Chain A
């Protein structure tokens, strides 16, 4: 049984090695970091995803505690790295802000997520 499985396992490993670049895009990290507190308003929110995304079908927005959108509405995918998504921010007053992102990876899988950060004086 084990010996017969080896060729199959090898084929699976080969397929995995050659195709692992395609996968759902999940959040790798963010700036400001997830759940973090910044002193002063950050100029932008930037997120790094685990896979490349399609710019036309990927968005990110920032809302305040009341749900009002506060970003500048210029979300974009970095032209040099399609794993990075950014949106600019105005000067934000102290408070808790929610970042919501929704992307379509290059293999067409849709994923989304959200997190918060705090701004203190």
Chain B
């Protein structure tokens, strides 16, 4: 009998915006009846955990029933997001644009965390691989994740995201497990845009329904994650060479459907990026080859901190340096996945993503908002 080791992180890749694969380790924050998820992954959609293959169907069903008790919280989170939408409409009338555009700044689709934009985009595929260390007597594993994310605008400023991931675990003892993880759904609203200072902010709520994936790898415990997304270009700095820099952030509080079994947690992600396209277009044409002029060197990170009440909870995280390449209507990204804390329990991995801007490719059909232009 094999457990997907307590204290091991798993990567998953999916969309996104990137979004994708923030590795976190939550094993110690999980204090429910053993065996329960211990191998966890986080991405733009929040932290997710993989269930143990030893989990019984009865236990999975019990967790599914428990999900229903959380509907009130979900409704509250959605209502809060919609309220923020209304406030945003009243507070800021700045015309929005597809992509992550704020003035001269175009925020690219980050891979490990979500970017602050609301748009019509498709990440397909996002692929990642990493080795999860053996811990506490459990077998280590080489993990492969294949992900997809579809971002769809409802109005110009309000959108939904759908994330799907397929995971393959090749354990070090020669056995393996594979299957779909719980899909994740995000409701996201572009709250504020300041073109002059290249600021773009959004709010959203991410929902995963535990036990809806394959029983071999999914997490039977769902979660709801209110999220704030922020992007700031530094184009207003007086020093020209610094103007191509931009930072983005993602601040989340993940509320577990079963806090007695899986702790709530804070998830903080960010990126530091240097846009060579911005340098070429707005600061100084350096005469760089076109291939170089389309690159954005980037470092992303994501840190997960179990909230109070999680006995033995450990801070886990991932740092992901890499590069994004901007095509006319697509983006290709490649980043390393480096454990940020000793509790993360992974080796160095890698993640790659092909991303499509559907608003550019299909501007009159699936690439435009359902309502409005």
Contact = CB atoms under 8 A, between A and B. Distances in A.
The finding on whether chains A and B are genuine partners in a shared complex, rather than unrelated, reads: yes
Interface of A: 1-2, 5, 8-9, 12, 15-16, 19-20, 22-24, 26-27, 29-30, 33-36, 50-51, 107-115
A29 to B, nearest CB: 7
Interface string B316-342: 000000000001111000000000000
The B contact surface, by secondary structure, is: mixed
Given A26-B277, A109-B363, A16 B285 contact: no
A50 B99 CA distance: 16
A23 B106 CA distance: 13
Query: Which 6 pairs across A and B sit closest by C-beta, in order of nearness?
Result: A35-B284, A23-B360, A107-B363, A34-B285, A33-B285, A27-B281
Contacts of A111: 97, 101
Given A2-B146, A50-B328, A112 B360 contact: no
A120 B282 CA distance: 20
A16 B284 contact: no
B261 interface: no
**Which of B125, B327, B329 has most A Cβ within 10 Å?**
B329
Contacts of A16: 329-330, 356, 361
Nearest to B103: A112
Contacts of B98: 24, 109
Interface string B82-104: 00000000000001011101011
A112 B133 CA distance: 49
A23 B283 contact: no
Contacts of B282: 27, 34, 113-115
Contacts of B283: 34-35, 115
Nearest to B357: A23
A22 B361 contact: yes
B146 A35 contact: no
Nearest to B277: A26
B328 A20 contact: yes
B288 to A, nearest CB: 11
A119 to B, nearest CB: 16
Contacts of B281: 26-27, 34, 113, 115
Given A2-B146, A12-B122, A19-B361, 10 more contacts: A19-B329, A20-B328, A26-B106, A34-B281, A34-B285, A35-B284, A107-B360, A109-B359, A111-B101, A112-B104
A13 to B, nearest CB: 10
B361 to A, nearest CB: 5
B240 interface: yes
A1 B285 contact: no
A12 B356 contact: yes
B192 interface: no
Contacts of B106: 24, 26
A34 B285 CA distance: 5
25 contacts: A1-B146, A2-B146, A15-B361, A15-B362, A16-B356, A19-B329, A20-B329, A20-B330, A20-B361, A22-B361, A22-B363, A23-B329, A23-B360, A23-B361, A24-B98, A24-B101, A26-B281, A30-B285, A33-B285, A35-B284, A36-B284, A107-B363, A109-B359, A110-B95, A112-B104
B373 interface: yes
Contacts of B363: 22, 107-109
Given A34-B280, A108-B373, A114-B104, A29 B285 contact: yes
Contacts of A114: 104, 282
Contacts of A109: 97-98, 359-360, 363
Contacts of A107: 360, 363-364
A23 B282 CA distance: 19
A113 to B, nearest CB: 5
Interface string B255-289: 00000000000000000000001001111110000
B166 interface: yes
Nearest to B361: A19
Nearest to B122: A12
B124 A35 contact: no
Interface string B160-185: 00000010100000000000000000
Given A5-B125, A34-B284, A24 B360 contact: yes
Given A12-B124, A23-B329, A26-B277, A110 B97 contact: yes
A115 B330 CA distance: 25
Contacts of A20: 327-330, 360-361
A29 B124 CA distance: 31
